[in-house]
Structure 1
Amino acid sequence: MKLTTLLVTALTVVSGAFAVDVQKSVIVSYPQDTPNSVLEQAKNAIKDSGGIITHEYQLIKGFAATVGEKVLENIAAWGAPYQALIEEDQVVSAL
C-alpha cells in the first residue's frame, strides 16, 4: 500500500513539473487613447514568455499573438484601466 501511495505522489509531482502552458492565438486591441507604453509592456511580456507577436495592426491599436493562457491573465490585468479587449483568433466565414 505504501509503494502505491509513493508512486502516485511521485507521478503527480513529475506531471506538475512538466506541465506546459496552453498556447492560444489571440487578438489584443486597445482604445486609440491608450499609451503606447501599455502596448509595449504587453508585447514584451508575450515575447519574454516565449510567445510570438504574429501581426501588429495599423488601423486599430493592437496586435495578434500566440501566447500562453497565464500571460493573457497578466495582460488583461495591466490593460484593465484602458479596457483592453482580448479575444481568441478565429476563422470567420460568410454563407
Structure 2
Amino acid sequence: MPTMYNITLKPGASPEQLEKAKESARQQGGTIKHEFTLIKGFTVEFPNETVHTLQTDEHIHVEQDGEARAQ
C-alpha cells in the first residue's frame, strides 16, 4: 500500500538541494503529489518503504503524512 511522506528541507538548503531531493524521491519510485510554496518541501507517495534513503541527507526532514489534529 502506498505511503505519503512530507519532505521538508532545512531553512538554509539551496534550491539545488530541493531539486536533488525531488529527483532522489522519483528515482526511488516516489511520485511527487504536492509542492509547498512557503517552505522548501513537497509531499511524495512511495509504493513501499523506500523513503529511508532520503532520511540519510542532513538537509532533509522526512515525516509520514497523516491527519493533523488540534488539541
Aligned equivalents of 1:59, 1:88: Cα separation in 2 = 19
The two structures have a TM-score, normalised by structure 1, of 0.62
1:45 corresponds to 2:21: no
Q: Residues 10-89 of structure 1 correspond to what in structure 2 (within 5 A)?
A: 23-67=2-46, 68-70=48-50, 72-77=51-56, 79-80=57-58, 82=59, 84-89=60-65
Shift of 1:93: 3.7
Kindly report the root-mean-square deviation, in angstroms, between the aligned alpha carbons of the 2 structures.
Answer: 1.8
1:49/1:36 Cα in 2 relative to 1: closer, same or farther (>3 Å)? same
The structure whose residues are more often strand, as a share, is 2
Q: Percent identity?
A: 26
Alignment deviations for residues 39-90 of structure 1 (CA, whole Å, 9 cap, x no partner): 21221122223321000001011100102322x111111x22x2x2111111
Runs of 4+ aligned residues of structure 1 deviating over 3 Å after TM superposition are: none
Aligned equivalents of 2:55, 2:69: Cα separation in 1 = 28
Shift of 1:94: 4.0
The structure whose residues are more often helix, as a share, is 1
- Larger RCO (alpha carbons 8 Å, 6+ apart): 2
Structure 1 regions of 5+ residues with no counterpart? Answer: 1-21
The two structures have a TM-score, normalised by structure 2, of 0.78
